[in-house]
Amino acid sequence: MKRTAIILGCLLLASPAMAQSITEKTGVNSVLGVAPATADFVKQVAISDMFEIQSNKIAEDKGNAAEKAFAKQMIADHTKTSTELKSAVSGGKIEAALPTALDSNHQSKIDKLKTATAADFSATFIDQQIDAHKDAVSLFERYAKGGDNAALKDWAGKTLPALKHHLEMAQNLDKQRSTTTSKSNK
């Protein structure tokens, strides 16, 4: 135990960029309200947008009418933010690498949606959307308040209201699902 603490301490001192990545990846920054490093923010936003686009394309096929309407809006909005982020990174305003694929956590969520039965799809999809948008709101709030790239910080602040609205929309889908479920159980 002591050895692990020493190794972790050395890693944190040896590489500040790595330390930020570790604390962001483990959720420590989120709990403490600390802004992520620019590279972490860019990576997480890119993965989040890819997840939103892919998961909502599945919802366009498997979801009910309300979920399909939600999905259409999410695909449009997250395609827009993805394009804006790519433009900022390729334009040289931001020094960060854009991931080209989902991480294993998000890929497993996509796989779960693809294999969900019709009966389980809504609950799985809506829960994932609520969690993803809570995470996105936290990420964007933290970067907008304390990010170290002025242009990206400004963009995060301007994008935040749309993400909060997405969260409300996902929560409303959940309320509709709960109402429908309780009526059908009577």
59 shares its domain with 151:
yes
- Residue bearing the bigger pLDDT, 62 or 6: 62
**What pLDDT is attached to residue 21?**
53
Task: For 162-186, write each residue's pLDDT tens digit.
Answer: 999 999 999 999 998 877 655 555 4
Task: Report the pLDDT value the prediction gives residue 27, as an integer from 0 to 100.
Answer: 58
Q: What is the DSSP string of 63-122?
A: S-HHHHHHHHHHHHHHHHHHHHHHHHHHTTSS--PPPSS--HHHHHHHHHHHH--HHHHH
Domain count, the chain: 2
- pLDDT level of residue 94 (50, 70, 90 thresholds): confident
CATH no. for residue 41? 1.20.1260.10
Pair (92, 131) in one structural domain: yes
Note whether 170 and 70 are within 8 A (CB): yes
- Token pair 């936003």 in the structure block, residue: 45
* Local structure of 132: helix, strand or coil: helix
Measured at the CA of 95, the angle between CA 89 and CA 96, to 5 degrees, comes to 75
Q: Based on the fold, state whether residues 6 and 78 are members of the same structural domain.
A: no
Q: Could you report the per-residue pLDDT of 46-78, keeping only the tens digit for each?
A: 999 999 999 999 999 999 999 999 999 999 999
pLDDT, averaged across the chain: 85
**Whole-angstrom Cα distance, residue 8 to residue 37?**
19
Question: For position 20, what pLDDT does the model report?
Answer: 39
25 shares a domain with 106: no
Instruction: Read off the pLDDT of each residue in 8-25 and give the average, rounded to a whole number.
Output: 43
The reply to whether 25 and 52 lie within a common domain is no
Helix (H, G, I), strand (E, B) or coil at 88: helix
Domain region containing 16: 1-31
Amino acid letter at 35? A
pLDDT in tens, 120-138: 999 999 999 999 999 999 9
Phi/psi-derived region of residue 64, left when phi > 0, alpha when psi is between -120 and 50, beta in every other case: beta
